[in-house]
Chains A and B, each alone.
Chain A
């Protein structure tokens, strides 16, 4: 019954083309607003995904008790990996090889061919057992690094602020007084590893004149076995070790970035708010010029609700068209853009959540922008409105 009493759909659509310049300007404004929302949501989602994807609940990180939860400051004996293997049950074995990865982890200045100043990079010294533990790491080009070689994550150039061409296979980078040749490139399912440079552990230790490790990562048979490693570390107080599940470690880093994420959502709210004002301005203008027409519709017999709905339809259509344009621009130009942060780099993600938020904001802009001017027009008595110029 309600459907029979609504104004024709075409009426709302054609009204958008009645003042094409105004509609085009509003469309442009709404597109920018929704695009800004997409970028901010993409930033938040990218950051969250990077940290979430990095941590695995069945991987335990063993590092020094005195490092204040920062593995870059950690220094543990080189024999820790062997000690763990000998003392803790439940470490997974794959093809007869124990899944433990002794690693040296450091932030250091890295020079590339085109960088005027070396950029701050993250270097990880690893052995061939590292991929057994970091199973999301996939070599996508080239080969595993031999002595004097490194392999680079697909976002390592972003972390360094360098061109992607600087880090293609065969190019050279320089850090800690040594020149390294890039032997391969890897991905890691969007995790923070993708912004790292991986070098052979022994080679890196020699270059840095270090015998120690930063951490040992071990993959357990199940997440429950992480507690066994923790007990081992607590019992062997002489080693001054600490064990934390990798997922817990990165979750704690996520907490560290919570204010940034909150700020992002505040920006989304502010941008959406400014968009509502733009929508309000347009709809006040559009309604003001149609007072008599709206009164005529009422005189014919259309209820105020039907007229209100058609005004909301107009504004929402325009906002949704803006959202569609913003999503297309976002997917083409924003999705996959790399952003640097202290932990490395991550990609802006225009995913289903971002698109859903953008569409929600667009719908909000349409409804909130149309209701006040429509309600104002509907409050006018029909006999007065019908005489309006």
Chain B
């Protein structure tokens, strides 16, 4: 059974008098434990699809079912609650909160979930250890390198054990060596922690690290030369 079903999703927006449709009836299924890379040319709509799955953008039509919930039907407030429980977001530019330490940044998503302070502390420590940043726990983002910041970003994304981790060009602003470190880390997150990953990238080498590679071409999703389809056709 699939974890994420994108069902016949269309996304369009107006650009002056012109209507742009980056996604035109696309479908895709992501299974538990998958590591999917989503590639395509600039402006092809790959980040748009990622943001739709992450619940921070809205479809024009179609359904997106994540762990049995059609998130296109959720109100803005419910969608925020849903994101807190189900989505771990890794941003291209890290997007850490500058006035919070690495520890506090990682702790942020947990403050939204019902758990004790002791449980929170344990989870943050495990997440920081997973990204090898325990000694940097009390450092502020300005005191860390870009690679370290991104590792904190990954720790923040995995700390709440979300249903799926979405990463939007996670290596887009990093040098080659740091890119390699981050890609290895993401592979470990998938292999060792068993977390489901969807990564948007324009870098073919980075995309090749994923188990599945999906390309977005002219509004259509292609995998292994064929248009992708959803395996589940009905929402829960």
Give the total number of A-B pairs whose CB atoms are below 8 A apart. 74
Given known pairs A8-B104, A8-B111, the reply for A18 and B56 (CB within 8 Å) is no
Given known pairs A300-B83, A301-B81, the reply for A383 and B98 (CB within 8 Å) is no
Please tell me if B80 contacts chain A, counting CB pairs below 8 Å.
yes
Please tell me if B85 contacts chain A, counting CB pairs below 8 Å.
yes
Min CB distance A311 to B, Å, is: 13
Please tell me if B108 contacts chain A, counting CB pairs below 8 Å.
yes
Please tell me if A382 contacts chain B, counting CB pairs below 8 Å.
yes
Given known pairs A299-B83, A302-B80, A381-B57, the reply for A386 and B91 (CB within 8 Å) is yes
Question: Are A11 and B97 closer than 8 Å at their CB atoms?
Answer: yes
- How far, in angstroms, from A382 to B114 measured CA to CA in the complex? 25
Please tell me if B99 contacts chain A, counting CB pairs below 8 Å.
yes
Question: Are A18 and B99 closer than 8 Å at their CB atoms?
Answer: yes
Min CB distance A352 to B, Å, is: 36
Min CB distance B56 to A, Å, is: 4
Question: Are B98 and A293 closer than 8 Å at their CB atoms?
Answer: yes
Across-interface contacts of B216 in A (CB, < 8 A): none
Given known pairs A296-B91, A298-B80, A301-B81, the reply for A5 and B97 (CB within 8 Å) is no
Min CB distance B43 to A, Å, is: 13
Given known pairs A4-B111, A4-B112, A8-B104, the reply for A299 and B99 (CB within 8 Å) is no
- Interface size on B (CB < 8 Å)? 29
- Interface size on A (CB < 8 Å)? 26
Across-interface contacts of B76 in A (CB, < 8 A): 304
Please tell me if B40 contacts chain A, counting CB pairs below 8 Å.
no
Please tell me if B51 contacts chain A, counting CB pairs below 8 Å.
yes
Across-interface contacts of B85 in A (CB, < 8 A): 301
- How far, in angstroms, from A304 to B75 measured CA to CA in the complex? 13
Question: Are A383 and B57 closer than 8 Å at their CB atoms?
Answer: yes
Please tell me if A209 contacts chain B, counting CB pairs below 8 Å.
no
Q: Classify the secondary structure of A's interface with B.
A: helix
Min CB distance B123 to A, Å, is: 15
- How far, in angstroms, from A11 to B56 measured CA to CA in the complex? 23
Enumerate A279-307 residues with CB–CB distance to B below 8 Å: 292-293, 296-305
Please tell me if B89 contacts chain A, counting CB pairs below 8 Å.
yes
Enumerate B54-89 residues with CB–CB distance to A below 8 Å: 54, 56-57, 76-77, 80-85, 87, 89
Question: Which residues of A are interface residues toward B (Cβ below 8 A)?
Answer: 4-5, 7-8, 10-11, 14-15, 17-18, 292-293, 296-305, 381-383, 386
Show 12 residue pairs from A and B whose CB-CB distance is below 8 angstroms, ordered by the A residue: A4-B111, A5-B112, A292-B93, A292-B95, A293-B98, A296-B97, A299-B91, A300-B84, A300-B112, A302-B84, A305-B77, A386-B56
Question: Which 9 pairs across A and B sit closest by C-beta, in order of nearness?
Answer: A301-B84, A14-B99, A296-B95, A301-B83, A382-B56, A303-B80, A383-B57, A301-B112, A383-B51
Question: Which residues of B are interface residues toward A (Cβ below 8 A)?
Answer: 48, 51, 54, 56-57, 76-77, 80-85, 87, 89, 91, 93, 95, 97-100, 104, 108-109, 111-112, 114, 156
Known: A4-B112, A300-B89, A383-B51. 19 other contacts (CB 8 A): A4-B114, A10-B100, A11-B99, A11-B100, A14-B99, A14-B100, A17-B99, A293-B95, A296-B97, A298-B80, A299-B54, A300-B109, A302-B84, A303-B80, A304-B76, A304-B80, A305-B77, A383-B56, A386-B56
